[in-house]
Amino acid sequence: MGFGPIGGGGGAEGWFGEIFNFSPEPAQLPGSEYGLVETKPLLPENLGPSGEAMTATHDMLEQMSYLCVSVVKARDLPTMDMTGALDPYVEVKLGDLKGVTRHLEKNANPVWRQMFAFSAAHLQFDQLQIIVKHKDVLRDDLVGRVVFDVADIPRLSPNSRLAPQWYHLSDANGKRFPNRHSLGEIMLAVWLGTQADEAFMDAHALSLEGLTNTRSQVYYSPKLIYLRVSVIAAQDLMGTKKDQPLGPTIAKIQMGSQIMRTRPGQPQGSANPAWNEEFMCVVSEPFEDPLVVTVEEKVGTGRDEPIGRIIIPMASPYVERNDLFMPVPSKWFSLSRGMTGSKILLRMSLDTGYHVMDEPPEYMSDLHPAAKKLRKSAIGILKVEILGARDLAVGVENPYVVAKYGKKWVRTRTLLNTTAPQWNEQHTWDVFDVGTVITVAVFNDSHGAANDQRIGKVRVRVATLETDRMYTQYYPLVVLTPSGLKKMGQLHLAVRFTCKSWPKMLAMYGKPLLPELHHTNPISAPQMDYLRFKAMEMVASRLGRAQPPLRREVVEYMLDFDNRTYMFSLRRSKANFYRFMVLFSPIMAMWKWFDDVCKWKNPVTTILVNVVYLNLVCYPKLILPMVFLCFIMIVARNYRQRPRNLPHMDAVLSHAEIAHPDELDEEFDTFPASRPADLVRMRYDRLRCIAGRVQTVAADLALQGERLLFLPRWHDPRATTIYMMLLVMMAFVLYLTPFRVVAMVIQLYFLRPPWFQSKTPSMIFNFYRRLHSNQGLML
């Protein structure tokens, strides 16, 4: 084994390449179709004076024209049934597009107050019809109608709104009747406007299939808190059978679907067992489920019988809010189930100083603790304009977008029968930390027939946004499937971050991401994963009960509920290796440059290095300033090469395009494996080969470290004697010789001319290779 190139494989590239059995040089991947496309849409802030009419709330919106119809009410409608009843409703028609109001029973003077909006893409029709009908069992009857020529409809500015007017109803032939035979009147307002109109937010957009779930919705995640429960001891327990001794007892803690159990109490079989165990679970406000603590007796293998129970509501004064993790007193609770005198000692607190994680740590959008008084003030505003999408995959006909940042979720309206939707919706969020990420995903609405299809996901880290710069780009929507990487389309977004307070934002970089309690009283990683999983379930359940609901599969996809990064993936292992190579490539480049300088590959460079080194030796005060000056020059040089586009899901970095189909099939396999035995055996053998290479590299690293560790421990008496004599000599030499002389001697040795250099290893390396290790003791 050699020192330097570990295992003789040619450095880090060699032994890492041996592990995964592939070349250290990354292949030339295509990746162009998965890149960002920068755009310049006609947004108001880019239009100058022509865009000033747009309100400040919609300053990032690309203006879209809509035909707006406000159906207010009607009066003096005629009766249609033999009974004299009238159940009126209004049908708004523009060509093949149709919207319908609710019908009102037995009302000749109905009031609807409903808005409808037609996209400008459907304004090729000449007439707009407002039809009043009577809802009947067999066939709806015509009451009357009003017809507008689209060319005569006025256009209004975003800050204006047309006052509704009364219109006389005519029959199917357009004929009006005298007052005594009048069909009644209807109050309407019809105008051409944009989505910036105040009335547009109350409108129902219309499509070829009629009225859809097109109104955008805003949701908020429930307030989540960690509940800490300490089960300490019990007193005077009685078994299920009075004529038999008490068996081992355990305590079961249940909070909704979260169930945890203690180990058997000590001493076993005692009526006064002690557990002294602590558990954490997730609860949400407003509280719904109580805390249930049950004491159970083990009466057989796999059989536990309850011998006592206590139910504690979360709103109980015994459950204290603990913002700063202060000591909480314990309390005895009487157990039910007919036991006299049986008690259990519990300590409970709501630890509101923690942030309850419901997202992966690398994609967190909210870092606030549950306690409101511990939260930070906003440092900025994030504005996201969801413009549209294009080139959506075949089968995607009813797309909608969901965006999440912090506690706020936004769902756009659904657009039907289109692969190039234009939403043009703007949403804003308060930013409390630039280290957060906003997630935007596209789905295909199944209208309840099946789960909504995932189209793709985009993530933007706020820290990568320049202040007050608007980014307008098409983001690729890619999905990794067992059959390979699939491009599902492109999402058009406009994103801008505005800073409220520069001092607060700059000071934030010196503060921890998570609240203080995560550092002073950390939660273990396995427990944190369990709590995050339960928090995701709780958020999905709460949002699924909203009206209209945000579907469970949507919430799970946004929160990475089925995150598989903890499972082995050969594709991901290769990608991480290349990340490692990129990370250490500057160090390896510096080492190669230094080796070239020592070997005088470029004499001019070597002479300059000698001169600079001598100056630093003579003037040591210049060493640190020179180092910092070099870093300043490197950072200044990289400014011109800074990324101009936002980071996105990188297919090249992820090695998703060149992954072998078998690697992807293995990555998406279930756990335990569900593939045929022969295929699983082949993959197991492949994994054994990779693990064997990892094992060899680990042994090589241990070998190098053991040589240094055993040198002063007299495992090789002669080598240790030589080592001690060298230390004595170096101590005297360094004591008697000025530091500058020692530094110059080191310079002369490493930078000596080539004719004084030998191709054989130096004495130091030869001495090191002969040192003792435990390699020869391994079986």
Judged by average pLDDT, the poorest of 41-45, 592-596, 673-677, 678-682 is: 41-45
Output the DSSP codes for 500-561: S-HHHHHHHTTS-SS-THHHHSPPPHHHHHHHHHHHHHHHHHHHHTSSS---HHHHHHHTTT
DSSP SS3 for 575: helix
Does the pLDDT of residue 421 top 50, yes or no? yes
Confidence at 59, pLDDT banded by 50, 70, 90: low
More confident residue, 51 or 424: 424
Output the DSSP codes for 332-350: EEE--SS-SS-EEEEEEEE
d(CA 453, CA 393): 11
Strand 37-38 with 470-481, pairing: antiparallel
CB neighbour burial string for 418-453, b if at least 16 within 10 angstroms, e if fewer:
beebbbbbbbbbebbbbebbbbbbbbbbeeeeeebb
More confident residue, 359 or 125: 359
Residue 490: the pLDDT is: 93
Of 94, 103, 34, the closest CA to residue 69 belongs to 94
Does the pLDDT of residue 24 top 70, yes or no? no
d(CA 585, CA 682): 34
Confidence at 247, pLDDT banded by 50, 70, 90: confident
For 586, other C-beta atoms within 10 Å of its C-beta total 10
Residues in the chain: 779
Residue 52: the pLDDT is: 40
Q: Exposed/middle/buried for 458, CB within 10 Å: 0-12, 13-18, 19+? A: buried
CA 387 distance to own-chain centroid: 21
- For residue 351 the two structure tokens come to 């630890």
- For residue 464 the two structure tokens come to 């990568």
Q: What number is the average pLDDT over the span 424-430?
A: 91
pLDDT in tens, 591-631: 898 888 888 888 898 889 888 888 888 888 888 888 899 88
State which amino acid sits at residue 170. S
More confident residue, 188 or 193: 188
pTM for the model: 0.77
CA 774 distance to own-chain centroid: 46
d(CA 212, CA 371): 40
Q: What number is the average pLDDT over the span 380-385?
A: 94
Does the pLDDT of residue 663 top 70, yes or no? yes
Does the pLDDT of residue 582 top 50, yes or no? yes
Residue 310: the pLDDT is: 92
Residue 23: the pLDDT is: 47
Does the pLDDT of residue 499 top 90, yes or no? yes
Residue 315: the pLDDT is: 86
Residue 96: the pLDDT is: 77
Q: What angle do CA 326, 328, 329 make, to 5 degrees?
A: 150
d(CA 704, CA 5): 11
Q: What number is the average pLDDT over the span 217-228?
A: 93
Residue 63: the pLDDT is: 66
The secondary structure element, H or E, covering residue 399 is strand 399-405
Does the pLDDT of residue 200 top 90, yes or no? no
Q: Which residue has the tokens 């032939």?
A: 173
Does the pLDDT of residue 364 top 60, yes or no? yes
Spell out the residues 6+ positions from residue 673 whose beta carbon is closer than 8 angstroms to its own. Answer: 680
Does the pLDDT of residue 410 top 70, yes or no? yes
Does the pLDDT of residue 28 top 70, yes or no? no
Judged by average pLDDT, the poorest of 290-304, 341-355, 512-526 is: 290-304
More confident residue, 105 or 15: 105
Q: Which residue has the tokens 């049986």?
A: 342
More confident residue, 205 or 770: 770
Helices (H), 382-426: none
Of 188, 172, 186, 189, the closest CA to residue 108 belongs to 186
Residue 61: the pLDDT is: 58
Output the DSSP codes for 12-34: HHHHHHHHHTS-SSPP----GGG
State which amino acid sits at residue 77. L
d(CA 645, CA 388): 19
Residue 387: the pLDDT is: 93
Q: What number is the average pLDDT over the span 413-441?
A: 90
Q: 3-class secondary structure for 660-693?
A: CHHHHHHHCCCCCCCCCHHHHHHHHHHHHHHHHH
Judged by average pLDDT, the poorest of 154-158, 397-401, 656-660 is: 154-158
More confident residue, 770 or 50: 770
CA 379 distance to own-chain centroid: 21
Among residues of the chain, what percentage have pLDDT more than 90? Answer: 34
pLDDT in tens, 687-724: 888 888 888 888 898 999 999 999 899 988 999 999 99
Q: What number is the average pLDDT over the span 163-192?
A: 80
Q: What number is the average pLDDT over the span 534-547?
A: 91
Q: What number is the average pLDDT over the span 515-519?
A: 92
Does the pLDDT of residue 757 top 90, yes or no? no
Residue 197: the pLDDT is: 63
Confidence at 567, pLDDT banded by 50, 70, 90: confident
Q: What number is the average pLDDT over the span 98-106?
A: 87
pLDDT in tens, 148-176: 988 888 887 766 677 888 998 888 777 76
d(CA 558, CA 402): 8
Of 748, 744, 751, the closest CA to residue 594 belongs to 751
Strand 343-351 with 320-321, pairing: parallel
Does the pLDDT of residue 562 top 70, yes or no? yes
**Average pLDDT score over the chain:** 84
More confident residue, 97 or 144: 144
d(CA 398, CA 421): 9
Judged by average pLDDT, the poorest of 75-84, 259-268, 658-667 is: 75-84
